[in-house]
Amino acid sequence: MKNGARRVAPDAMDRWPEERLAKFHLHKIRQLLRHVYRQLPFYRQRLARAKVDPEQVKTLGDLARIPTFSKQDVLQEIRRQGRFDFGLETIARRDPAVLCMTSGTLGSSFLYLPRKWRALRGDSLLRAYWWAGLRPGMRMLMAVPAWHSLAVQESRVIERLGVSTVVPWGTFLPRNAGNFIDAISDATPDFVSIFLPMLFAILAECRRRGAKPATVFKSVQSILAVGAPMTPRSRQQLVHELGVGDIFEGLGNPEGLTAMECASHCGHHIFVDCCFVEIIDPKSGAPLPVGQRGNVVITTLIPHGSIFLRYDTEDLGVILPGACACGRSWPRMEVYDRRANEVEIAGQRIVPYDVRICLDELPELVNLPFAVVRGETKMERLTLLMQKPASGNLEEIQARIANLLRKKPNVEAIQEWAEELPQRWKGVTVIEEKDWRRARV
Ligand SMILES: [Zn+2]
């Protein structure tokens, strides 16, 4: 581990000037294009249909000529061919590999991840854990389920950094929160890597047990949370309640996106050493300028295993303008939600994150569960279902929320209070009107 430990500190690539990064991307993408055109039938057919010769891609802008594809296309190919490896995988028979699953509302697909993929992605991810404060010799609690591609990369980070690990019993479902509390209390980790909704489940379980979260997390210096967007107020309150040094939000998907907050907490730096991100107009497919919300399209730069080239993640995101206070040059992005969770209210398109930002203005509502009720017909007003706060005058709170939502995102809202949101709706930010009506009967 000594030799490995010497190599682990991240290099200076995150401070490369913009021009150098663009040159790096163009070189990597052109290499990748040649590779997929020669080796992978899925892309060869798509490029031929779109009449794109890889040699014609001479600038990063030319990349937009290559058609995007989404999970639907992947699932359709799996069904059509009756096999998981449908032609976007570089399979080297001699290189040991693992097969991971991607879950989702649409269905599961598979990722073929050979040893070289694990090494390159894991070494890139090490930088994220380093930024979050993980150092050699520390003890880390990891909570990623083994079927997830993050577990494959995380195990590499653990090896390279030389940290010891604690794995609690059970996956990150709320019913296992008790096991997580016991594991943290018994094993006293310095660092916790966790699925954000599970952190809320742990807090709820602490309340049920009458345990102080700061006592449970006494040994923990920092937390890396993934799986759901955290607003700035929500993060501050969590840091305070858990008594930890800091909480960092990581962003990623199994198809290749890695992005990570730095200590400035102003968006997520895109890990440009392993992925290239574009934001496109969901209707026209045209790339959008910095600062505009659209669909997040990713291209992996790792030429091993399953290769995703201009994959439309159907997430709604933005590349943030301006430089980061930390001085790193890697561009920053924010992902708000799945596009499917966007609702239109009197011509305004909003996602639950926009509502969360408003609710967080009121200290008594920070981190309190809520849901947007999606109407069956056109909506003129936003219907919010909220869990009652422990303190405060409800009428007054309601009026303040209505005012805030009128300012930004500029929608009229009606609100309903619930003693507690049903378990099945916790963590679900958009519920359908018919399900809500049924629950009220
Ligand atoms: Zn930064």
CATH of the domain at 365: 3.30.300.30
**Residues 202-243 pLDDT 10s:** 998 999 999 999 999 999 999 999 988 888 999 999 999 999
Helix (H, G, I), strand (E, B) or coil at 435: helix
Question: Could you give phi then psi for residue 385, rounded to 5 degrees?
Answer: -110, 120
Distance (angstroms) between ligand 1 centre and the Cα of 256 equals 21
CA of 262 to the centre of ligand 1 (A): 5
Calculate how far, in angstroms, residue 328's C-alpha sits from the geometric centre of ligand 1. 6
Pair of tokens at residue 437: 């009506």
CA distance 332 to 290: 10
Predicted pLDDT at 426: 61
Same domain, 381 and 321: no
Q: Does residue 253 surpass a pLDDT of 70?
A: yes
Residues 298 and 384 in one domain: no
Spatial separation of the C-alpha atoms in residues 416 and 156, rounded to whole Å: 47
CA of 42 to the centre of ligand 1 (A): 37
Q: How far is the CA of 5 from the centre of ligand 1 (A)?
A: 25
Q: Which range marks the domain in which residue 412 is found?
A: 342-440
Residue 346, both tokens: 């009197």
Query: Is the pLDDT score of 267 beyond 50?
Result: yes
Predicted confidence band of residue 425 (pLDDT cuts 50, 70, 90): low
If you measure from the C-alpha of residue 126 to the centroid of ligand 1, how many angstroms do you get, rounded to a whole number?
16
Do residue 332 and residue 355 come from a single domain? no
Q: What is the pLDDT of residues 360-404, one digit of tens each?
A: 999 889 888 889 999 888 899 999 999 889 888 999 999 999 999
Rounded to the nearest angstrom, the distance between the alpha carbon of 12 and the centre of ligand 1 is: 14
367 C-alpha to center of ligand 1: Å?
25
CB-CB contact of 397 with 365 (8 Å):
yes
CA distance 15 to 13: 5
Hey, which residues does 247 pair with through a beta bridge? 223
Distance 234 CA to ligand 1 centre (A): 19
**In this structure, are 143 and 130 located in the same domain?**
yes
Residues 360 and 391 in one domain: yes
Task: Note whether 355 and 395 are same-domain residues.
Answer: yes
H or E element in which residue 299 lies: strand 294-300
Which string of b and e fits 380-398 if b means at least 16 CB within 10 Å?
eebbbbbbebeeeeeeebb
pLDDT in tens, 320-349: 999 999 999 999 999 999 898 999 999 899
Angle at 286 between CA 281 and CA 287, to 5 degrees: 85
265 C-alpha vs ligand 1 centroid, how far in Å?
7
Compute how many other C-beta atoms are within 10 angstroms of the C-beta atom of residue 375. Answer: 17
Pair 232, 254: CB distance under 8 Å: no
CA of 324 to the centre of ligand 1 (A): 5
Residue finishing a domain among 338, 358, 393: 338
pLDDT tens per residue, range 58-96: 999 999 999 999 999 999 999 999 998 999 998 888 888
Calculate how far, in angstroms, residue 326's C-alpha sits from the geometric centre of ligand 1. 4
Same domain, 263 and 352: no
Average pLDDT over residues 29-45: 95
Cα(229) to centroid of ligand 1, in Å? 17
The Å distance, Cα 332 to ligand 1 centre, comes to 8
- In this predicted structure, the answer to whether residue 7 has a pLDDT above a threshold of 70 is no
Dist. CA 331 → ligand 1 center (Å): 9
CA of 186 to the centre of ligand 1 (A): 34
Total domain count, the chain: 2
Q: What is the pLDDT of residue 441?
A: 65
Tokens of 196: 């954000």
Expressed in angstroms and rounded, the spacing between residue 225 Cα and the centre of ligand 1 is 17
Q: How far is the CA of 330 from the centre of ligand 1 (A)?
A: 8
Which residues fall within 8 angstroms of residue 46, CB to CB, at 6 or more apart? 66, 67, 69
14 Cα to the center of ligand 1, angstroms? 10
CA of 24 to the centre of ligand 1 (A): 20
From the CA of 301, how far away is ligand 1's center (Å)?
Answer: 22
Q: How far does the centroid of ligand 1 lie from the alpha carbon of residue 319, in Å?
A: 13
**145 and 197 fall within a common domain:** yes
Query: Alpha-carbon distance 110 to 226, whole Å?
Result: 21
Pairing state between β 164-166 and 332-338: unpaired
One-letter amino acid at 176 equals N
Q: Identify the domain boundary among 303, 319, 338.
A: 338
Q: Are 206 and 212 in contact (CB under 8 A)?
A: yes
**Alpha helices (H) in 82-114, listed in sequence order:** none
Give me ligand 1 centre to Cα 253, in Å.
Answer: 20
Taking only the tens place, the pLDDT of each residue in 110-124 is 899 999 999 999 999
Compute, in angstroms, the gap from residue 220 CA to the centroid of ligand 1. 23
The CA 267 to ligand 1 mean position distance, Å, reads 8
Q: Are strands 258-260 and 191-195 parallel, antiparallel or unpaired?
A: unpaired
For residues 394 and 327, membership in a common domain is answered with no
Same domain, 312 and 190: yes
H/E segment holding residue 165: strand 164-166
User: How remote is the CA of residue 263 from the centroid of ligand 1, in Å?
Assistant: 7
- Pair (60, 191) in one structural domain: yes
We report the CATH number of the domain holding residue 8 as 3.40.50.12780
Looking at 296, 312, 338, the residue that finishes a domain is 338
CB 176 within 8 A of CB 169: yes
Does 352 lie in the same domain as 302? no
In angstroms, what is the span from residue 73 Cα to ligand 1's centroid? 35
| Confidence band, pLDDT 50/70/90 cuts, at residue 143 | confident
pLDDT at 201 over 50: yes
Task: With a cut of 60, say whether residue 5 has pLDDT above it.
Answer: no
